Amino acid sequence: MTDREWMHKAEEVMANTYKRFPILIERGRGCTLWDAAGRTYTDFVAGIAVCNLGHAHPKVAQTLSRQAETLLHVSNLYYTRPQTALAAWLVEHSFADKVFFCNSGAEANEAAIKLARKYFQDRDAPDRCRIIAMEQSFHGRTMAALSATGQEKIRAGYHPLLPGFDFVPFDDLDALAAKMGPHTAGVLLEPVQGEGGVRVPAADYLRGVADLCRKNGSLLMLDEIQTGLGRTGALFAHQHTDVVPDIMTLAKALGNGLPIGAMLAGKKVAAAFGAGAHASTFGGTPLVTAAALTVVETMEADNVVANARRMGAYFKQALLRLQRRHPVIKDVRGLGLLLGMRIAADGDAVVKCMMDKGFLINCIQGSILRFVPPLIVTSEEIDALTAALDETLAEVS
């Protein structure tokens, strides 16, 4: 079949839950993708902050091939080396003592919500069950994660949602303090809101949230699904501060494209998950954890987080220079290589124009262009994108 026929077949046989662009991607390498017609695209979407090492990384491919010939899956009733080694790496490089593996960010947040409630149930405090989340947050599409998501456009059509969730404005400590009380089990938030518009809070916000949680006896739950694993220029975004969470969730970049999620917790909180309290058939399979271990070890060996910090600063300055040239740019925001640009124009039109020029970016909230390239991106690739964006903004204006 031709590429057009494949796309038509997809519309026939697949659920229409995505508004797809009319290109059929066939292969990738590093920050470059090729479509079925052989056209190249420089990828500043990276599977939405997933492919931190870029596409078809040779070490990850080698690990997958080797592990696939050895052991794909056994039940979590048994031990495996890759799963244990990955958990040990995450514990060594974070605040946590324990790791629970699952298959996605939504599942990781489900586990976090369950753990927070179970923790207080075990302490004979069943009424301490409410979770405070942030307006404009995004925590996933499963029912509990959706119930914790502070965007009505995403929640619409699925009511009644699960009870027990309250919402306050992001980056507003007074509102959070007013909402907290004896029924608050935990506060769930993203250190930087990704889907909510690449919103970076004030420098003292996360510390203020942690202090309020400690004062109220509530758990601090950080969703680092998009911000974790180097995206913001630190291994985890909360490490830009001295804050230590009680629970943290990861996914996206952990597998560099393979389905994996993880919930991390300190020993005291994690103890609420005893045998049978939670489970996942495919959580932490040998195949996926072997690949994820290669991902994190390669990131560490190649100083990928440092590159994200340098290139993030370089990229942000380039976008700020564009802002001085184009009044249509109203704001440049973000941290590391999680960057956003708010424009007074149709963001989707800019995305389409950039795609025609050979660059993949995406638009959120209608007018915010989001840039989340692989963390191995080079200054030359950033320069090429900003030159194309310069032309595009002039055309749109």
167 is catalytic: no
Q: What is the pLDDT of residue 306?
A: 98
The Cβ-side half-sphere exposure at 182, using a 13 Å CA radius, reads 3
Q: Which residue has the tokens 């599977």?
A: 47
Number of Cβ within 10 Å of residue 65's Cβ equals: 10
pLDDT mean for each 10 residues of the chain (397 residues) = 93 95 97 96 98 98 98 97 98 98 98 98 97 98 98 97 98 98 98 97 98 98 98 98 98 98 98 97 98 98 98 98 97 98 96 98 96 98 98 90
For the chain, helix (H) and strand (E) counts, in that order, are 14, 15
Residue 275, helix vs strand vs coil: coil
Amino acid 233: pLDDT: 98
210-220 residue pLDDT tens: 999 999 999 99
What domains can you pick out in the chain, each with its CATH number?
59-301 (3.40.640.10)
* pLDDT attached to residue 397: 76
pLDDT tens-digit series, residues 59-109: 999 999 999 999 999 999 999 999 999 999 999 999 999 999 999 999 999
CB-based contacts of 245, cutoff 8 Å, min separation 6: 95, 210, 220, 221, 222, 238
Helix pair 379-396, 347-356: axis angle to 10 deg: 120
Radius of gyration of the chain (CA): 21
The residue from 170, 223, 236, 371 that is catalytic is 223
H-state helical runs in the chain: 3-13, 46-49, 58-68, 81-92, 105-121, 143-147, 152-155, 173-179, 205-216, 267-270, 286-301, 304-325, 347-356, 379-396
pLDDT (tens digit per residue) in 116-134: 999 999 999 999 999 999 9
Of 162, 159, 74, the closest CA to residue 110 belongs to 162
- Which residue of the set 43, 95, 246, 252 is catalytic? 252
Of 138, 170, 273, 359, the active-site residue reads 138
| CA angle in degrees (0–180, nearest 5) for 285-291-297 | 130
Q: Is 138 a catalytic residue?
A: yes
282 is a catalytic site residue: no
Q: What is the rounded CA–CA span in Å between residue 279 and residue 224?
A: 21
What is the model's pLDDT at position 396? 84
CA distances from 75 to 65, 292, 294, 378 (A): 21, 18, 22, 41
Specify the pLDDT at position 266: 98
Predicted local distance difference test score (pLDDT) of residue 276 = 96
Integer Cα distance of 359 and 370 in angstroms:
13
- pLDDT tens digit string along 166-195? 999 999 999 999 999 999 999 999 999 999
Structure confidence at residue 99 (pLDDT): 98
Give the predicted TM-score (pTM) of the model.
0.97
Cα–Cα distance measured from residue 228 to residue 239, given in angstroms and rounded to the nearest whole number: 10
- Report how far residue 293's alpha carbon sits from residue 88's, in angstroms, rounded to the nearest whole number: 10
> Mean pLDDT score of the chain, rounded to an integer?
97
Which residues partner with 262 through β-bridges? 101, 250
